[in-house]
Structure 1
Amino acid sequence: MNLQGFFYICVVKRYIYFLFILLFNQLNAQKVVIYGQDTICSNNGAATVFLDFQNKGIPPYTVVYSIDNIPQDTIITSLNVYNIKTKIPGTYLIEYFSDAVNNGLDSISGSAFVKVIHKPSIQLFVSNDTISITSPKVSFHVTSDKVLKSQLWDFGDGSPITNKNNPTHLYSIENQTNLGKYLLSDLVVEDLDGCFDTISYYIFVETDHYFWLPNSFSPNNDNKNDKFCLYYDGIRDKSFLFNVFSSDGSLVYSTKDIDKIDCNLQKGWTGKNIKSDKLLLPDVYIYKLYFQDLQGWKYQKYGKIILSL
């Protein structure tokens, strides 16, 4: 073999060796892929962008990524798949990558995209922020910078949750357990993009009372105004005392049981003398009413009752 042939063989072997080394490095090179496509609402959880370190290089891995070409903080991790939790919208790319041994600028691929949708901005308007037994109704109205798909209302008084838009609610306070307290009314809205927002409003339950009673009745059994009765609310039943006196000051009727003269129970005083159980003569009688409201305030009421036949 002449010198030229020997030189040619050496060149070929060296070329094959470099091809082998190149192929070996390609097969064993560390590679990172960035991927992910997520849409989130501005007030919800974070989006996820994935860094996938392939071919099992030598950790730790060092990565610098960018959002819309703006470099972010360096990430150093030994995880084969690293999750970037983010609420920043934009296109995510890798700017620099290496494992513990080699720089991997030639082994970068992929991109990720994050879209952030702004939540609806809502305002809640109420007709009144204080309710009572005599006035338990509140009207609600919601405005938003986005079109709302749904409204979900919890009025805080134990009534069923409703999905009515801009409702008027009659608060349930008959059980008197919420008197003198604040009721927390909650609203959850959803827009057409599927984003949610919540708002809360306190309604104060004022303790008040009312009663109504007529100034005349005619117990003549014609089924018209035959009984003297009253309508009431917000009164402590056990504090109640109702007395009726004749024009000469004699006690002709008395009861501590408010149910006995409750119009809602179809009850009432029939005009009979409490002692003789005989129907009283037509006349003008005087009543005195004593009671406490639900806060414990004491009241006395006086008035006239005309009994006619």
Structure 2
Amino acid sequence: SEFSFIVSDDIGCTVIRSGTVECECLFSSAGEFTQATDTLNACIGENIEVIYDDSNEVLDPNDTRTFIIHDGDSNAIGNTLLVFSDISSGISFDPILNEDVVYWLTAVIANEDDNGIADLNDVCLSAASGIGIRFRSSPTASLSGSAAICAGEEAIFEIDLEGNGPWTVNVDLQGNPFAEYITDLSPLIVQTSQEGEYVVSSISDQYCNGVANGAVQVDIQALPSASISQGGEFCEGSGEGPLVEFTGDGPWELNYTVNGILDSIVIGNTPDVIPVFSGGTYSLVSVSDSNCDNDASGSVQVDMIPAPQAILTAGNPVCVGDSVPILIEFINGNFWSYSLSFDGSNSDTLTNSTGSTIIHASTSGSIELLYLENESCGAYEFPNTEIEIYELPSIEYSLSGDSICSGELVELTIESQGNIGLVEVELLINSDLQFISVSSEQWTASFFPEEDFNLTIGPVQDQITGCVDTTLIQFNVEVTEYPEVNPLDDHIVCSLDSTLLSTMAEEGVVYQWYAGGELLPSDNSSVSLSLENLTNESIEVDVLLVADRIGCITQELSHFIVDPLPEVLFSYNPQPVSAVNPVINLINLSAGSNTYLWTLDGDTLSNDISPSWLLEPDNPDEYIICLEATSSKAGCKNTFCMEVEILGDLSVYIPNSFSPNGDGLNDEFGPEILNADLRFYTFDIYDRGGSKVFSTNDVNEWWNGTEMNLGRESRSGLYNYVIVTRDKFRRDSKIFRGSITLIR
């Protein structure tokens, strides 16, 4: 607000003072929460009702009231989590808050900020004492599964509880109240012997009511029972016996005694029998099905008739080709019927009344009794025995080759096969007989034959059983001689020189020649060899002869030193060479040589290094000039040739006057031309006014002083001519212009 005042002293001086003063923080408090408790609680889903008194507050127009929820305490504001401008309808749970945690609700008054709420940084901020608020989590109860109990037993199931115990849990059975439990332990254990569906109808803890879900089904199973009947006389092991009947869900495990000795059996069907293996009193003790156990009672008397039996005994082993006796002895009875199986082959039904019999077998294998009965019962046990026939010894053998080159290795390997141990083998090589002992470990012999030889293996005897295999194995080994070749000399040659190499020829031998690893185009015993060296140094080339007789190969190697040819090159001047002065200067550009021979069209001209020649003047022609150079290192020669053309000069003679008066002297005007290409030739004459008076393309036609040589005489005077032609050798065009005086 503004102010102004006047001050005067006693002598009449006056001073006026004025200005503006601002008053801060006009309000005195932010109200108060009037609940008697320090903390207000509510379950999630409920509102916290707050009583707030602001009757003593005075706000100016710039002030506003805001309620904040924070994590500080009653006197200090912590981190702001939620902001409200009005709490008259209560406060509900917000996911930003944690369940079961105390937060603080504080009312603040301050100047309004840009968001329309109290500015928490305002120096005039006033805050009420905070009150605690807490949202309690709702308890839950869940159960699931099923239980099956036998009559008289109790089912036990669990209820999982969450929340703030202790809990009050109400359980219903088939929709009706079953029990109420108060517990602070989770899970809650429920025991019951009643059948039906159990559900949790309600759940609450010390603060809130909760939600329950799930159900448990309890089923009561009936106890199984067993009864026994129909005792009497039964054959041993026949599968027959007293009858038992069951109730319940099979299969059943039945415990019973025979003359007081406990035994048991599992039976899958009802009714069924207990197979008899001994006589006496059969009494039931207990029975179990797939669900429950129960006691059982009842007994019957059983008489057992002994079953027939047989004993099979085989004789000592023999070798293949012999037979083994098998003794069969019969017990219990006076007359027996039976059948046998030997390695899967079944016999017909046989009979015996003497108590024993003998049969024979000639191969290894198992013999088994398939069927046996006497005059009263059938057998339930069927014995078998093994028949052992010793196998003849067997060997595995191999020969590394039956066609070899002379002196090459032939390797023979022998080893015994199967379960046979040590064997003795007869080995006949040509006429040399040997006896060798061979086991399962490989026996090896090496041979280096120079000629054909025969090999016989066998007989073979097992050193343990004495059994002998008389089979003979024969090999015929063919030996081929290596071809013979002549030794090849080493050579020093010039590049591209021709050298003949040869060896003696043998029938049935294929020859191949190689130079530097490359196959040469020759399959004969000789070859003409020309080796090229494109380098400046000598090179070494290996020449290989391969002689092949049916895979038996002889090789011979020769070393060639191939010297390079000298580098030959020349040029000449002048270029071109004129036939007027046909002097040619030869410039030797060769390298690697010290001896030279110059020829002209095959004729020797000089041995100089760079000679000069005078050819026949005025004789245009083409010449072949060759330079042969001999290397200073190995005497290798090389030649370079060049075609040189001697060109004639184009010359034209033109007189400066003529007199066409018929006296036979200078009656015509024309040029005399040498060394012109007359396929390209024109000759034109013009008068002084520029009119053409003569024209021709024929070098032999001259002007006779008449217009176009047609008879009208041209006047005496000065005329201009133009001659156009082409140099015969240089192929360039030439133009000749001038004047001619016609005199009459």
Which of 168, 192, 195 is 2:528 aligned to?
168
* Count of aligned positions: 222
Contact 2:458-2:473 at 8 Å conserved across structures:
no
Distance 1:189 1:29 in 2: 49
Cα–Cα, structure 1 residues 143 and 124, in superposed 2: closer, same or farther, change >3 Å? farther
Which of 133, 136, 141 is 2:497 aligned to?
136
Tell me whether 1:122 sits opposite 2:122 in the alignment: no
RMSD, matched Cα: 4.5
Contact 1:35-1:110 at 8 Å conserved across structures:
no
TM-score (norm 1): 0.53
Cα–Cα, structure 1 residues 15 and 172, in superposed 2: closer, same or farther, change >3 Å? closer
Contact 1:60-1:77 at 8 Å conserved across structures:
yes
Cα–Cα, structure 1 residues 90 and 263, in superposed 2: closer, same or farther, change >3 Å? closer
The Cα shift of 1:232 comes to 2.8
Contact 1:151-1:187 at 8 Å conserved across structures:
yes
Contact 2:482-2:552 at 8 Å conserved across structures:
yes
| Greater share of strand | 2
Tell me whether 1:184 sits opposite 2:542 in the alignment: yes
Alignment correspondent of 1:247: none
Cα–Cα, structure 1 residues 263 and 120, in superposed 2: closer, same or farther, change >3 Å? closer
Tell me whether 1:110 sits opposite 2:473 in the alignment: yes
Tell me whether 1:223 sits opposite 2:621 in the alignment: yes
The Cα shift of 1:183 comes to 2.3
Cα–Cα, structure 1 residues 71 and 213, in superposed 2: closer, same or farther, change >3 Å? farther
The Cα shift of 1:176 comes to 4.1
Contact 1:150-1:190 at 8 Å conserved across structures:
yes
The Cα shift of 1:189 comes to 1.9
Tell me whether 1:57 sits opposite 2:361 in the alignment: no
Cα–Cα, structure 1 residues 148 and 206, in superposed 2: closer, same or farther, change >3 Å? farther
Tell me whether 1:154 sits opposite 2:518 in the alignment: no
Q: What are the Cα deviations for residues 164-204 of structure 1, in whole angstroms up to 9, with x where unaligned?
A: 42111111123345x1x54221011223x453322111223
Contact 1:58-1:100 at 8 Å conserved across structures:
no
Tell me whether 1:198 sits opposite 2:555 in the alignment: yes
The Cα shift of 1:149 comes to 4.0
Q: What secondary structure is seen at the aligned counterpart in 2 of 1:163?
A: coil
Amino acid at match of 1:132: C
Contact 2:624-2:642 at 8 Å conserved across structures:
no
Contact 2:393-2:423 at 8 Å conserved across structures:
no
1:294-309 map, 5 Å:
none
Contact 1:154-1:160 at 8 Å conserved across structures:
yes
The Cα shift of 1:226 comes to 7.7
Which of 384, 406, 417 is 1:42 aligned to?
406
Cα–Cα, structure 1 residues 66 and 222, in superposed 2: closer, same or farther, change >3 Å? farther
Cα–Cα, structure 1 residues 195 and 203, in superposed 2: closer, same or farther, change >3 Å? same
Distance 1:226 1:117 in 2: 61
Amino acid at match of 2:642: Q
Tell me whether 1:212 sits opposite 2:597 in the alignment: yes
Contact 2:427-2:456 at 8 Å conserved across structures:
yes
Contact 1:61-1:78 at 8 Å conserved across structures:
no
Cα–Cα, structure 1 residues 160 and 49, in superposed 2: closer, same or farther, change >3 Å? closer
The Cα shift of 1:82 comes to 6.7
Tell me whether 1:69 sits opposite 2:431 in the alignment: yes
The Cα shift of 1:72 comes to 5.8
The Cα shift of 1:263 comes to 6.7
Amino acid at match of 1:230: L
Contact 1:153-1:163 at 8 Å conserved across structures:
yes
Cα–Cα, structure 1 residues 213 and 77, in superposed 2: closer, same or farther, change >3 Å? farther
The Cα shift of 1:118 comes to 1.0
Tell me whether 1:28 sits opposite 2:388 in the alignment: no
Distance 1:98 1:43 in 2: 33
Q: What secondary structure is seen at the aligned counterpart in 1 of 2:323?
A: helix
The Cα shift of 1:206 comes to 4.8
Q: What are the Cα deviations for residues 88-107 of structure 1, in whole angstroms up to 9, with x where unaligned?
A: 34221236745573455545
The Cα shift of 1:53 comes to 3.8
Larger radius of gyration: 2
Amino acid at match of 1:147: E
Q: What are the Cα deviations for residues 74-121 of structure 1, in whole angstroms up to 9, with x where unaligned?
A: 464525x87766443422123674557345554553222211111211
Can you give the 5+ residue segments of structure 2 that lack an aligned partner in the other structure? 1-313, 326-361, 365-387, 567-592, 600-604, 607-612, 647-744
Alignment correspondent of 2:464: 101
Contact 1:32-1:108 at 8 Å conserved across structures:
no
Alignment correspondent of 1:284: none
Contact 2:395-2:414 at 8 Å conserved across structures:
yes
Distance 1:69 1:205 in 2: 57
Distance 1:38 1:130 in 2: 45
The Cα shift of 1:142 comes to 1.4
| Greater share of helix | 1
Contact 2:415-2:438 at 8 Å conserved across structures:
no
Percent same amino acid at aligned positions? 13
Contact 2:315-2:324 at 8 Å conserved across structures:
no
Can you give the 5+ residue segments of structure 1 that lack an aligned partner in the other structure? 1-12, 237-261, 271-309
Distance 2:500 2:435 in 1: 51
Distance 1:62 1:16 in 2: 21
More relative contact order in 1 or in 2 (CA 8 Å, sep 6+)?
Answer: 1
Contact 2:317-2:390 at 8 Å conserved across structures:
no
Q: What are the Cα deviations for residues 205-249 of structure 1, in whole angstroms up to 9, with x where unaligned?
A: 35675542243544557334486x62336479xxxxxxxxxxxxx
Q: What secondary structure is seen at the aligned counterpart in 1 of 2:640?
A: helix
Cα–Cα, structure 1 residues 263 and 197, in superposed 2: closer, same or farther, change >3 Å? closer
Contact 1:151-1:164 at 8 Å conserved across structures:
yes
Q: What secondary structure is seen at the aligned counterpart in 1 of 2:324?
A: helix
Distance 1:16 1:101 in 2: 12
